[in-house]
């Protein structure tokens, strides 16, 4: 019996499978299988289950062919149903039309100029945290920084930031409920309504932020009301969760492993933080997966796929694929290959990747500059989530 065959594959559709951590041993075994692995599911798909796509080359193939593997039924499992106004539910050419309107705002060259106002946000959060001797790093630092950054980018007033953070946590929890999107929309609609109210304020008093730009585009007829509501809420959610999870999990790794703490200090001192940040993102993979649906019957990766089958793209597995990364389970910022899938790929590759990397880099720089050392002060608590590699609580104390 092969090592892969000897591994018992847990239920990948069950939130409990991910409470103790990512089941990397199971993903190693699935990658070694000759075809794709079928996960039966009672609810949340079209054909009673999904195919676990775990190899990097197979995920890349799915993402490069949106005509065969569509996002129209929703980009995640459980499938939430159709939502044609939302950019994440769209394939080309409509996806490109929606994306082009904001893509330039998040380009690497533009984001590089954000340092001057992102850094004070990071410093303020760190100084407040250290002044009280530590606390729960997740809400007080890891969630606070990206919420304020995205609030600034989009144009949400500062006194509304905590409200937005709560909405964000609620919606990612709602995405796990297999009820055809009912819970998701119950949580998401207040965000959409809030963004529509914000539009009116931005038209009255325009400023240099995303909400103003989108409000003016909607006023010119370039976006429908529904598209505006969806776009602004998606930007807020996508810009928050990846960074929040990456910050929290990276800090957990640093305080739990002296070698990783040392590598982080050395990266700041040596000017190699970009490589370190990429390795944290590969190793953590904040958004563990996304979903596509087959539009026709076909043979793919040695497997017969039926029209309507869900293809669950496990980026968290692809980022440990030994065909791509040597010693994939070792944290190694010096590795030569850095083409990870932490931000997905294809036409739906995450727009906010440069901004997320900037926030992480500034966090490490400012902690190093201030000589901040933290230590565990309680047990970390993971989320019950099959999609986000979520850390809900990380109690730390200033060392």
Report strand pairing: 49-53 vs 134-136: unpaired
Percent pLDDT > 90 in the chain is 64
Highest mean pLDDT, choosing among 157-171, 218-232, 371-385: 371-385
Beta-strand relationship, 134-136 and 395-398: antiparallel
Q: What is the pLDDT of residue 173?
A: 78
> CA-to-CA distance for 177 and 41, rounded, in angstroms?
13
Tokens of 82: 């159709």
Kindly tell me the burial class for residue 57, based on how many C-beta atoms sit within 10 Å of its own C-beta (0-12, 13-18, 19 or more). exposed
Q: What is the mean pLDDT of residues 326-334?
A: 97
pLDDT one-digit tens code per residue, 1-11? 455 557 899 99
Mean pLDDT of 117-123: 97
pLDDT, residue 399, reads 94
Query: What was the pLDDT predicted at 120?
Result: 97
- pLDDT confidence of residue 118: 96
Other CB atoms within a 10 A radius of the CB of residue 197 amount to: 8
Which pLDDT belongs to residue 97?
A: 77
CA distance 222 to 240: 26
pLDDT at position 130: 98
Question: Is it the case that residue 339 has pLDDT exceeding 50?
Answer: yes
**SS3 state at 310:** strand
> Bridge-partner residues for 292, per DSSP?
311
Give the per-residue pLDDT at 101.
Answer: 65
CATH classification code of 3-398: 1.10.630.10
Provide the Cα torsion 113, 114, 116, 120; round to 10°. -170
Mean pLDDT of 163-175: 78
pLDDT of 105: 67
Both tokens assigned to 261: 């703490």
Mean residue pLDDT of the chain comes to 91
Average pLDDT rounded to a whole number, residues 176-186: 81
Average pLDDT score over residue span 339-362: 92
The angle at the Cα of 167, spanning 362 to 397, to the nearest 5 degrees, equals 45
Q: For the chain, what are the domain ranges?
A: 3-398
Is 55's pLDDT higher than 80?
Answer: yes
Distance CA 128, CA 123 (A): 8
Of the two residues 116 and 87, the one the predictor is more confident about is 116
pLDDT of 230 over the 90 cut: no
Give the pLDDT score at 100.
73
Does 319 score more than 50 pLDDT? yes
* Average pLDDT of the residues in 256-279: 97
What burial class does residue 331 get, using C-beta atoms within 10 Å of its C-beta: 0-12 exposed, 13-18 middle, 19+ buried? middle
Q: Choose among 395, 335, 361: nearest CA to 122.
A: 361
- C-alpha–C-alpha distance, residues 371 and 365, integer Å: 10
Q: Token pair of 153, please?
A: 């980018």
Place of tokens 């500062």: 158
Residue 33 tokens, joined = 């299988």
Q: Average of pLDDT values for 331-354?
A: 90
Q: Is the pLDDT of residue 109 over 90?
A: no
Rg (CA), the chain: 21
Residues 244-269, mean pLDDT to the nearest whole number: 98
* pTM (2 d.p.): 0.92
User: Does residue 99 surpass a pLDDT of 80?
Assistant: no
What would the two tokens of residue 211 be?
């909400």
Q: Is the pLDDT of residue 116 over 80?
A: yes
Count of other CB atoms within 10 angstroms of residue 166: 12
């Amino acid at each position: 019996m092969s090592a892969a065959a000897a591994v018992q594959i847990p239920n990948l559709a069950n939130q409990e499978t991910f409470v103790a951590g990512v089941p990397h041993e199971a993903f190693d075994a699935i990658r070694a299988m000759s075809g794709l692995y079928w996960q039966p599911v009672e609810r949340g798909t079209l054909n009673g289950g999904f195919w676990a796509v775990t190899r990097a080359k197979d995920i890349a193939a799915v993402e490069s062919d949106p005509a065969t593997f569509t996002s129209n039924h929703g980009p995640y499992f459980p499938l939430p149903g159709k939502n044609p106004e939302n950019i994440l539910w769209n394939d080309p050419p409509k996806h490109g039309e929606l994306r082009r309107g904001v893509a330039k705002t998040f380009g690497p060259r533009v984001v590089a100029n954000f340092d001057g106002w992102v850094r004070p946000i990071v410093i303020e959060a760190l100084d407040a945290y250290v002044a009280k001797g530590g606390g729960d790093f997740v809400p007080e630092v890891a969630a606070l920084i990206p919420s304020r950054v995205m609030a600034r980018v989009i144009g949400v007033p500062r006194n509304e930031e905590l409200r937005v953070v709560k909405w964000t946590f609620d919606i990612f929890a709602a995405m796990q409920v297999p009820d055809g999107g009912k819970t998701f929309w119950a949580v998401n609609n207040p965000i959409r309504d809030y963004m529509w109210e914000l539009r009116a304020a931005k038209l009255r008093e325009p400023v240099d932020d995303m909400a103003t730009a989108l409000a003016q585009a909607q006023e010119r007829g370039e976006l429908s009301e529904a598209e505006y509501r969806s776009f602004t809420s998606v930007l807020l959610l996508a810009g928050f969760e990846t960074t929040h999870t990456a910050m929290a999990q990276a800090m957990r790794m640093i305080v739990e492993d002296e070698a990783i703490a040392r590598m982080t200090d050395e990266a700041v001192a040596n000017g190699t933080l970009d490589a370190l940040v990429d390795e944290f993102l590969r190793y953590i993979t904040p958004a563990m997966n996304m979903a596509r649906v087959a539009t026709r019957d076909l043979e793919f990766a040695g497997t017969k796929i039926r029209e309507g089958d869900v293809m669950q793209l496990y980026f968290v597995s692809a980022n440990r694929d030994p065909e791509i990364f040597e010693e994939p389970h070792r944290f190694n910022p010096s590795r030569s290959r850095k083409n990870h899938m932490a931000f997905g790929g294809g036409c739906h590759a995450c727009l906010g990747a440069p901004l997320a990397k900037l926030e992480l880099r500034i966090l490490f720089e400012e902690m190093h500059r201030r000589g901040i050392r933290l230590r565990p002060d309680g047990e970390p608590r993971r989320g019950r989530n099959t999609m986000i590699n979520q850390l809900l609580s990380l109690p730390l104390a200033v060392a």
